Amino acid sequence: MRPFASSKALIPLVLATAAIVSACQSATPAPKTSTAALPTMERIALGANSCWFKSGDAAFSAYRLAPELNSFSGKPRILVVPRRSPESRPLLVVQAEGQPAKLSAFGPLMDEPVSSRIATDVKRWAAGGKGCH
């Protein structure tokens, strides 16, 4: 009986063990979604632009998006304004401040039937979700 196997016999065993160990290691974890105000509002602005405006959604066809993400007040925000009168008072303001971001949405559109959809979409995008309703 031989106490040790030859080195030639160990090579396949070492390679097989290395392959098994590397296969068992977990994949690199996905980066966490930032909860700071600016990255949160950037995600919301991208979602709103894509889902509400560029998609041709009838509920938002009379409006346009006016992002104001570079805020000196520390409250990045997006505005929804009348399409034909972008200088008018905003009909919807969605803003965030702090870390983690505290969101608020207000304006006349929040008194309309579309308000529940606005709230649902904004929460989903703020949490890192993608896609439209």
Least confident of 9-23, 48-62, 112-126: 9-23
Sheet-wide strand order for 102-106? 63-68, 77-82, 92-97, 102-106
Mind listing the pLDDT tens digit for each residue in 78-88? 999 999 999 99
Mind listing the pLDDT tens digit for each residue in 96-129? 999 999 999 999 999 999 999 999 999 999 999 9
pTM of the model: 0.75
pLDDT at residue number 21: 44
- DSSP state for residue 25 in the 8-state scheme: S
DSSP string covering 56-125: --GGGTTEEEEEE---TTS--EEEEEETT-TTSPPSEEEEEETTTTEEEEESGGGGSTTHHHHHHHHHHH
pLDDT at residue number 19: 46
Closest CA to 114 of 40, 63, 50, 42: 63
The two structure tokens encoding residue 124: 């989903």
pLDDT at residue number 28: 53
Angle 88-94-99 from CA coordinates, rounded to 5°: 140
Please give the residue that has the higher pLDDT: either 71 or 123. Answer: 123
Tell me what percent of the residues of the chain surpass a pLDDT of 70: 76
Residues paired with 102 in a beta bridge:
97
pLDDT band at 36 (very low <50, low <70, confident <90, very high): very high
Tell me what percent of the residues of the chain surpass a pLDDT of 90: 67
Q: Give me the residue spans of the domains in the chain.
A: 37-126
